[in-house]
Amino acid sequence: MSFWNYMEYAAWILSVIFGLYILIDWFRIESSYSEEALTSSREGELEAMTEQHKL
Amino acid sequence: MAKASEAAGGKVEKISLLRVLGPAHVWALGVGIVLVGEYMGWNFAVGKGGAYAALIACWFAGLLYTCVAMIDSEVTSTVAAAGGQYTQAKHIIGPLMAFNVGLYLVFAYTMLEAANAITLGYLVSQVAALSGYTGTLDQTPFIVLTILFLAWLNYRGVLATLNFNLVITAVAFVAIIVLFLSTLTGTTQLHHAGLMAGGASLPYGAIGVVAAMHFGLWYYLGIEGTTQAAEEVRSPARALPFGTMAGIITLLIAATLTWYICTGILPWEFLGDGVNGSVAPLFDASRLSGSTFLMVLLGIGTMFSTMASANGCINDASRAWFAMGRDHYLPQWFGAVHPKYRTPFRSIIFLVPIAILFALGAPLDQVITFSILSGLLEYTFMPINVIMFRRKWPLDTIKRGYVHPFHPIPAIVLLCLCAITYFAVFLGYGTQLIAMVGFYVVVSLWFHFWRYRFVKRGDQFTMPWPRPRGY
């Protein structure tokens, strides 16, 4: 096998590692936090605190 | 955090996106998405109408995008929320427009991400060929790795994502400057007079100039993506206009230098054929310079610009999808924020398989065309948006971080240039244009007659603005 064949395998292995990292963390978060907490972000709340639309 | 407070029986603590970005990150997001267009893609404009036509398209598209940047800077400096143009449309025009604009954004960026991943796979195969590898390299693992690595980076946090983009985009931009400087010192020889003489100047006449406009967009396509950072910058009113305007200035310089270098080195027939001729013109130009240093630098620049573009696209598409989920335009499930990394993690994850499917299953030119057309529809919305914004909330009613000059001239110019570009796209991809407009009509009907019933109508208008004039 040449160097580039090894690179192909390395790319697959790294892809699996990154994919698994995301999936495992996703599962961990979903099982640790309530849906209400995860979807609690509201548009404009921080904006209203930091920016004042006054002339 | 939220778990602890819930366990204690307390109120659930809210989890929001993090405000950690500055103007440099906004610049990195906008220029990062676009700069790949200088490294490849713009040269199809040369094929459509010759070198001069590509220059005219470069400057007209530059005018179009300067209008886009100015209009965007004004509106988004007041609408500091994720979703960018989607959120602008929601506040200024209405829900149906917002739904469409949200889809334009997600499709434009996801398709562009897929196109970039395909390109990176191709570039790796070229590196293998240049290194003497004689076999057939399987590009699939490199395409998949590109998408998954960048999705992982985006998943882990916006600051690291855009710091990464800042570094690789700066390297790619400096590479163009170094190549240009090499032409001044004589390291790289230019032959404009010989290459652009006679019929080579405008081989297809005026219609070639119009046709070139389609790919002229490629020099700047995506700079409007800076607005997606609105909810994550520390000072939206300052950072967004500053980063966006610095971005368009950078791109105008990069586009003009790219045209100047490439048309002075490569014959227009070769340069204009982006499939069988010059796939990566700046890299090809560096190879002809005979300098190994320039060849390596521009090779790295090509790969970095492609990666930066895909990275920015994941960031932007996920913010638009997230914002639509949060407003119930899509299932609210997508409006979740990661409690530790503070990113729209479900939206990032959801778009990964879609990008992989398009990258592995669709032809590159179709993917790019779908991206361009979605972008064009978005640019058509912008002038209407800013005209209505100024009418409903004149300058003396809302404080803006930036006020664009000469209103409504930029809006009218943008509308006219969009009309010309529609005609140019129709000349080459009329069927796709009609099919895509048909697609958006169908999903608009779905939204109007079904989905909108789930939207909490009063909750979606969040900006602390006064009542619009005339209402």
Q: Give the HSE-up count for residue B352: Cα atoms under 13 Å, Cβ half-sphere.
A: 24
Instruction: Look at residue B351 and tell me whether its pLDDT is greater than 60.
Output: yes
What is the rounded CA–CA span in Å between residue B23 and residue B30?
A: 11
Confidence of residue B5 (pLDDT cuts 50, 70, 90): very low
Instruction: Look at residue B11 and tell me whether its pLDDT is greater than 80.
Output: no
ipTM greater than 0.95, yes or no?
A: no
pLDDT digits (tens, 9 = 90+) for B64-79: 899 999 999 999 888 8
pLDDT digits (tens, 9 = 90+) for B128-142: 998 999 888 999 999
Confidence (pLDDT) at B470 = 84
Confidence (pLDDT) at B239 = 92
Q: What are the two backbone dihedrals, phi and then psi, of residue B470, each rounded to the nearest 5 degrees?
A: 95, -5
**Mean pLDDT to the nearest integer, B411-434:** 87
CB contact under 8 A, A50 and B137: no
What residues of B are in contact with residue A31 (Cβ under 8 Å)? none
How close A49 gets to chain B, by Cα (Å)?
Answer: 10
For B2, the closest of A2, A34, A47 (CB atoms) is A34
For B339, the closest of A35, A38, A52 (CB atoms) is A38
Q: What are the two backbone dihedrals, phi and then psi, of residue B12, each rounded to the nearest 5 degrees?
A: -70, 125
- Which residues are within 8 A (CB) of B365 and not within 5 positions of it... i.e. 6 or more apart? none
Question: Closest by alpha carbon to B382, among B101, B108, B81?
Answer: B101
**Chains A, B: CB contacts under 8 A, how many?**
146
Confidence (pLDDT) at B78 = 87
User: Which residues of A have a CB under 8 Å from any CB of B?
Assistant: 2-5, 7-9, 11-12, 14-15, 18-19, 21-22, 25-26, 29, 32-48, 50-55
Task: Mutate one of B19, B126, B144 to test the A interface: name it (highest A CB count within 10 A).
Answer: B144
Confidence (pLDDT) at A45 = 59
Separation in Å, CA B416 to CA B206, B286, B464? 17, 37, 33
What is the rounded CA–CA span in Å between residue B348 and residue B20?
A: 19
Length of chain A (residues):
55
Phi-psi label, residue B465: left if phi above 0, alpha if psi -120 to 50, beta otherwise: beta
Separation in Å, CA A28 to CA A34, A37, A38, B4, B137? 12, 14, 13, 15, 37
Instruction: Look at residue A53 and tell me whether its pLDDT is greater than 70.
Output: no
CB contact under 8 A, A41 and B333: no
Confidence (pLDDT) at B10 = 55
C-alpha triplet B59, B280, B283: angle, nearest 5°: 100
What is the rounded CA–CA span in Å between residue B191 and residue B173?
A: 23
Which position has the higher pLDDT, B441 or B276? B441
B52: enclosing H helix or E strand: helix B51-76
What is the rounded CA–CA span in Å between residue B184 and residue B221?
A: 29
Give me the amino acid identity at A32. S
pLDDT, mean over chain B: 91
Alpha carbon B382 to chain centroid distance? 15
pLDDT digits (tens, 9 = 90+) for B102-129: 999 999 999 999 999 999 999 999 999 9
pLDDT digits (tens, 9 = 90+) for B229-260: 999 999 888 899 999 999 999 999 999 999 99
Alpha carbon B448 to chain centroid distance? 28
Instruction: Look at residue B4 and tell me whether its pLDDT is greater than 50.
Output: no
Look at the block and give the residue holding tokens 């999903």: B443
For A41, the closest of B15, B131, B142 (CB atoms) is B15
Which position has the higher pLDDT, B166 or B80? B166
Instruction: Look at residue A44 and tell me whether its pLDDT is greater than 80.
Output: no
Confidence (pLDDT) at B7 = 45
Instruction: Look at residue B167 and tell me whether its pLDDT is greater than 60.
Output: yes
What is the rounded CA–CA span in Å between residue B64 and residue B59?
A: 9
Question: Closest by alpha carbon to B338, among A49, A8, A11, A27?
Answer: A27
Angle between helices B51-76 and B85-92 (to 10 degrees): 60
Instruction: Look at residue A49 and tell me whether its pLDDT is greater than 60.
Output: no
How close B406 gets to chain A, by Cα (Å)?
Answer: 21
Question: Closest by alpha carbon to B72, among B405, B386, B317, B407?
Answer: B386
pLDDT digits (tens, 9 = 90+) for B296-318: 999 999 999 999 999 999 999 99
Give me the domains of chain B, ranges plus CATH numbers.
Answer: 18-456 (1.20.1740.10)
Tokens of B96: 């149906």
Tokens of A23: 């999936």
What residues of A are in contact with residue B396 (Cβ under 8 Å)? 55
Confidence (pLDDT) at B35 = 96
DSSP state of B451: G
CB contact under 8 A, B345 and A4: no
Instruction: Look at residue B2 and tell me whether its pLDDT is greater than 70.
Output: no
Pair B464, B253: CB distance under 8 Å = no
CB contact under 8 A, A47 and B80: yes
Separation in Å, CA B389 to CA B249, B278, B385, B400? 25, 44, 6, 12
pTM over 0.80: yes
Residue ranges covered by each domain of chain A = 3-50
Q: How many beta carbons lie within 10 A of that of residue B292, not counting itself?
A: 10
Instruction: Look at residue A47 and tell me whether its pLDDT is greater than 70.
Output: no
